[in-house]
Amino acid sequence: MAQASLSMRKIEEILRLKFEVGLTHREIAQSCGVSTSTVSGYSMHAKAAGLSWPLPEGMTAEQLEARLFPAQGDYGRKIPQPDWQYVNKELKRKSVTLSLLWLEYRQEHPNGYGYSQFCHCYRKWKQQLNPTMRQKHKAGEKLFVDYAGQTVSVVDPQTGEIRAAQVFVATLGASNYTYAEAHWSQSLPNWIAAHVGALEFLGGVPAILVPDNIKAGVKSPNLYEPDLNPTYQDFACHYGLAVVPARVRKPRDKAKVEAGVQVVERWILARLRDRTFFSLAELNQAIAELLVELNQREMKHLGQSRREMFAEVDQPALAPLPETPYEFARWKKARVHIDYHVSFDKHFYSVPYTLSGKEVNIRATEKTVEIYYQRQRVASHPRSTAKGRFSTHSVHMPPEHQFYSQWSPERFLRWSREIGPQTSELISKALDSRRHPQQAYRTCLGVLGLAKRYSPERLEAACQRANSAGIQSYRGVHNILKNKLDQRPLEPASDNPLPAHDNIRGQNYYN
């Protein structure tokens, strides 16, 4: 054998690194300058011979070779045949290898096949299977998903309009257990809802999802790093699984679901071809009934049904479902406005003011809107449908804005009425002059605060003079008080202060 050509020192080093140091076969191969298959071969033969590390004292190279590669005598004997059906089924289980199954076979039949012949006979037996069954699929590992090419017509009972329903298909790799569900389109919400339905049907979560490169799931197909839709990635994180899209123009990557689609079209959709459906729910009910029959049909090449294979192989290996199903969420990138709000669906939601100008990610469900910065959630709001309105948390405001948030137009008006009608009129005009009343709060606070500095009586007189002159600013009122103009009598207003002329706009021009 090729393995026996290695020196005693290199064989010992392989066994030492394997059993004492615990390196992987790849690491041992790099260290010893041999192939990983050579390392695997020596490790397997050492286990079969009951050898470990350190080796027995005094063992020579010839004795080690004899232990690792015992002579096969009596070639005319009748070799007991392994149960290849059992071997094929067990290989679908996690961590089960041909070398382990061979060791179990040799424990039961000490004079049976050697490892190399065992592997050769298994591969020869497997070549007799249907080509779609030749891929190795571990139990509970992969769920293949796609849409059927065939659609189903649904008639609107009110208008008579005919709509084409899309049929989603999911197939487990190891057992071929199949799920199908109809939706109105292949849009992102329907794509996610179909996945949620498939996992609920399975009652567990596989390790890997293998979709086609549909736009709802994969934003930009790439051989090495396909870019997933953020919602699809969010869905995968919720269920703790990985998404590995099939490679573009590589149909063998998704051969399972291609076969599953074909089976669904032949055994479900073809049987429904002459039926008329008046709702999506009615169509899905019919699909569910035929799906039970499909999964209970015996697969001739395996002698078992999909349901039996699922219960025996895939189901025990599935991870448990999370406590709550995934709630559909849309993701959007946004830049925080200078007023520390971001826009989603024409409503404005606050974030901490320190993020002004930064790019954030918005995650919106039917009920909530969450904002993330550098993968950390920084804000959460109930979702609002009020267009052009604001949802603001006071803790997100700068300290000076938090002070102003405690005020309201009604509070300023109540305060101004306590001073006098002229003051109340000026404050009312100041609030009405701004597009948003909050923009006048600073002016209102400044004007009303002058009552403490001068007196309520003088402020009322100053406001009277300001109102007559059309002044609504803090600076204008303060100048009146500072220059004691409030203590001078008001001059009566002229009925016609300016002569009529085409070039004079008049007081109502800007109204």
Return the domain boundaries, the chain: 3-68, 84-128, 142-317, 330-398, 407-487
Q: Please give the mean pLDDT across all residues of the chain.
A: 81
Rounded Cα distance between 344 and 383, Å, is 9
Q: Over 9-53, what HEC string results?
A: HHHHHHHHHHHHHCCCHHHHHHHHCCCHHHHHHHHHHHHHCCCCC
Name the residue among 183, 187, 146, 189 with its Cα closest to residue 165.
183
Written as six digits, the tokens of 9 are: 């020192």
Q: Judge whether 3-68 and 142-317 match in fold.
A: no
Is the pLDDT confidence value at 495 over 60?
Answer: no
Average pLDDT over residues 328-337: 88
Instruction: Write down the pTM of the prediction.
Output: 0.51
pLDDT of residue 282: 94
pLDDT of residue 134: 45
Residues making up the chain, counted from first to last? 511
pLDDT class of 223 with cuts at 50, 70, 90 = very low
Average pLDDT over residues 1-21: 68
pLDDT class of 400 with cuts at 50, 70, 90 = low
User: Pick the residue with more confidence: 402 or 511?
Assistant: 402
Average pLDDT over residues 132-156: 79
pLDDT class of 71 with cuts at 50, 70, 90 = low
Rounded Cα distance between 90 and 103, Å, is 13
Query: Torsion-angle region of residue 22: left (phi > 0), alpha (psi -120 to 50) or beta?
Result: left
The pLDDT tens digits of the residues spanning 442-464 come to: 789 889 999 999 999 999 999 99
pLDDT class of 399 with cuts at 50, 70, 90 = confident
One-letter amino acid identity for 241?
L
Average pLDDT over residues 222-251: 69
> Dihedral, CA atoms, 338, 340, 341, 342, nearest 10 degrees?
70
Name the residue among 355, 441, 430 with its Cα closest to residue 397.
355
DSSP-assigned states of every residue in 241-274: -EE-PPPTT-GGGGHHHHHHHHHHIIIIIGGGTT
How is domain 3-68 classified at the architecture level of CATH?
A: Orthogonal Bundle (1.10)
Backbone phi, then psi, for 343, in 5-degree steps?
-105, 130
Least confident of 129-138, 303-312, 322-331, 483-492: 129-138
Rounded Cα distance between 361 and 347, Å, is 15
Written as six digits, the tokens of 304 are: 């078992």
User: Could you give the C-alpha distances from 278 to 154, 284, 285, in angstroms and in order?
Assistant: 6, 11, 12
Is the pLDDT confidence value at 248 over 70?
Answer: no
User: Pick the residue with more confidence: 47 or 213?
Assistant: 47
pLDDT of residue 1: 39
Vertex 357, ends 396 and 344: CA angle to 5°? 70
pLDDT of residue 175: 86
Average pLDDT over residues 162-183: 91
Exposed/middle/buried for residue 154 (C-beta within 10 Å: 0-12, 13-18, 19+): buried
One-letter amino acid identity for 202?
L
Is the pLDDT confidence value at 73 over 60?
Answer: no
Is the pLDDT confidence value at 303 over 80?
Answer: no
One-letter amino acid identity for 248?
V
Is the pLDDT confidence value at 370 over 90?
Answer: yes
pLDDT class of 243 with cuts at 50, 70, 90 = confident
CATH of domain 142-317: 3.30.420.10
The pLDDT tens digits of the residues spanning 406-439 come to: 677 888 999 999 999 999 999 999 888 876 676 6
Cα distance between the two ends of the chain: 102
The pLDDT tens digits of the residues spanning 344-356 come to: 988 989 999 889 8
The pLDDT tens digits of the residues spanning 97-126 come to: 888 888 888 888 888 888 888 887 888 777
